[in-house]
A and B are shown apart, each in its own frame.
Chain A
Amino acid sequence: MITRKHLLGALLLSLAGAAAFAADAIGAVQKQPLNMTAIGMFFVFVISTMGITYWAASRTKSTADFYTAGGGITGFQNGLAIAGDYMSAATLLGLSAMTFSKGLDGFIYAIGFFVGWPVILFLMAERLRNLGKFTFADIASYRLDQGTIRTFAAFGSLTVVCFYLIVQMVGAGQLIKLLFGLDYATAVVVVGVLMVVYVTFGGMIATTWVQIIKACLMLFGGTVLLFLSLSQFGFSLETAAQKAVEVHKDGIKLMGTGTLMADPITAVSLSLGLVFGTAGLPHIMMRFFTVPNAKEARKSVFVASGCIGYFFMVVCALGLMAIVIVGTNPEFYEGGNIAGKMLGGGNMPVMHLAKAVGGNLFLGFMSAVAFATILAVVSGLALAGASSIAHDIYARVIRKGTASETEEMRVSKFATVALGVVAVLLGILFEKQNIAFLVGLTFGIAASANFPILILSMYWRGLTTRGALLGGLAGLVSAVTFVVLSKAVWVVVLGNKEAIFPYEQPALFSMPLAFFCTWLFSVTDSSARAKTDKAGFDDQYVRSQTGIGAASASSH
């Protein structure tokens, strides 16, 4: 059993990693007390998910199993898995941290992350399910030129996957630093290794179950934390708000918006990116291919958006209460100075809150949950990235459909390992960024490069290969350029004095540009290819509406 041998190896590796954590934590200059409860719970999670991966590995035989769990996930399960995929560490840590420091602005930001979901259901969910097989590129290139559009869509997916991986890796590094007092880079490497193990051996089945378990743990943990925190304020959010306003440096301003989104252009740009970017995230779209039909796809969005909406409201309430409980407690600040730096970095209020209201046991639980979260999300991302490389670029474009299942599987596993390496390197490079803010950037790119092609290919007969390619390129290049030229990268990462692009979010500019270029280069396209592209629309339309001819669940 080659799988078993590899799994054991991976397990040993993670145990060795733990020994290194311990040694490092004791020797570290600014060490955190070693929390055995947290470590114990973390290992229970790792070992049980390794068990699931082992079980999933025996069920992952074909590429359909690997990419989409054979289409055999129910709507309810998929809903939980989507929630598990979407409620990332950035939302748990980043949104609570944003409410902690900016008050109502944090909540407004959270709503932007949510409202993309209803829109995905109304406009896209069933069409995605009816048209797609393994990847978002399947849909984008359904009636357009396979080589061109599939290649482009795959690169669009990979760009988004890499950016989102940075977000997750930064969260992982900070979290484990807090938990173990461990070196940031080592933490990032451990996450990368575990991610590669889950995906390579367990494929979509393991990833789905890791996400489901994690979603349940997170909803449970968040609810308990909400209950414990509220109990300190006599179960009144109003009392919590009053006390927060008293102790926060912004005072009553906390309860209004404006400190974060002082600039209307940035505010609108951010919200466009969040709403339409959600619909352009490859790892999220991929989840729609794991259910047997459109009916289950719709159900999964209902379940997912219920969980996500509830969780976001809880997280923001936690951020508010943390202002009082964590923000006034010197125990959680470096050198006991509450005006100074928070232990573990600015994204940690919710973890400190867990310790303050539930003690070490609960901190251990929440840390394990947050860690599980990162693993679940990075696994989904790695799988989406690997499917773009193996299914789209290798099997369809390079081999033009002649690759065998075995060959495609092998490439997908190599791709996963390569993505793991890239994720670790980028995670280290982006250590100092605010992670929730980086999420906004990722979404801006998804909204500008992936979303326009996807929605137009499903809704607009006139879309041609040339239009989709040039429009998508315009969106991708402009979004990436704006991000690179904005303060977050140009000044903070590259060390230049002043940002060239004055706004923080690209979507308001890059998304309309993508739509405009797509339209312009489609309507002016009179090639023979354009005629084929348009002629394909009628059949595609019937399939997208009725599900006739849609990829069905495979049985074993």
Chain B
Amino acid sequence: MSADIYKKVRANPKFAELEGKRSRFALMLTAIVMVSYYGLMALVAFAPDALRTPIASGATLTIGVPIGAAIIIGSWLLTGWFVRRANGEFDSLNNEIIREASK
């Protein structure tokens, strides 16, 4: 692939748009996952008693269980959201860029 086509792509304002939108979205989702996971780790490390709260009065299971499950399920749903947007909206923008650059 010639360097020429890369130059054309960089000159296309749509590339900046794609790059900006997709990066912002990816970083936002990464931040959500990291903050929730390291929030949990912070609880484990510095406030372990908080995780020993039962899920209901008299219950044996503690809130650590649903919180953990929520992090797994929630971040999986975020991957679904990302794939949907990236494979739809972002990819059609990307295809336009490639089409315009190879003209």
- List the interface of chain A (C-beta within 8 A of B): 104, 107-108, 110-112, 114-115, 117-119, 121-123, 126, 237-238, 241-242, 245, 252, 255-258, 261, 264, 267-268, 271, 275, 295, 298-299, 301-302, 305-306, 309, 312-313, 538-539, 542-543, 545-549
Contacts and interface: CB of A to CB of B under 8 A. Distances in A.
Given A104-B64, A238-B61, A256-B48, A115 B75 contact: yes
Interface in B83-99: 83, 86-87, 91, 94, 97-98
A257 B87 contact: no
8 contacts: A104-B68, A108-B44, A237-B61, A271-B37, A309-B75, A545-B18, A546-B9, A546-B15
Contacts of B40: 108, 111
A312 B72 contact: yes
Rank and list the top 3 A-B pairs by shortest CB-CB distance, nearest first.
A549-B1, A264-B45, A256-B52
Contacts, number: 154
B37 A542 contact: no
B45 A548 contact: no
B86 A126 contact: yes
Contacts of A538: 6, 10
B75 A548 contact: no
B37 A115 contact: yes
Which has the most chain B C-beta neighbours within 10 Å: A108, A122, A275? A122
A46 to B, nearest CB: 33
B45 A268 contact: yes
Interface residues of B, number: 53
Nearest to A270: B41
A275 B68 CA distance: 15
Contact of A258 (B30, B44, B60, B94): B44
B17 to A, nearest CB: 12
Interface in B1-60: 1, 3, 5-6, 9-10, 15, 18-19, 22, 26-27, 29-30, 33-34, 37-38, 40-41, 44-46, 48-49, 51-52, 54, 59-60
A295 to B, nearest CB: 5
B69 to A, nearest CB: 6
Given A114-B75, A548-B9, A104 B37 contact: no
Contact of A111 (B15, B18, B72, B82): B72
A543 to B, nearest CB: 7
A548 B100 CA distance: 12
Contacts of B86: 126, 298
Given A539-B3, A546-B15, A108 B68 contact: yes
A264 B46 contact: yes
Interface string B63-88: 01100110111011011101100110
B72 A542 contact: no
Given A256-B64, A547-B94, A115 B59 contact: no
A267 B43 CA distance: 11
Nearest to B19: A545
Contact of B75 (A118, A255, A267, A545): A118
A21 B29 CA distance: 51
Contacts of B22: 545
Contacts of A539: 3, 6
Contacts of B45: 261, 264, 267-268
Given A118-B75, A305-B79, A312-B72, A123 B60 contact: no
Contacts of B37: 111-112, 115, 271, 275
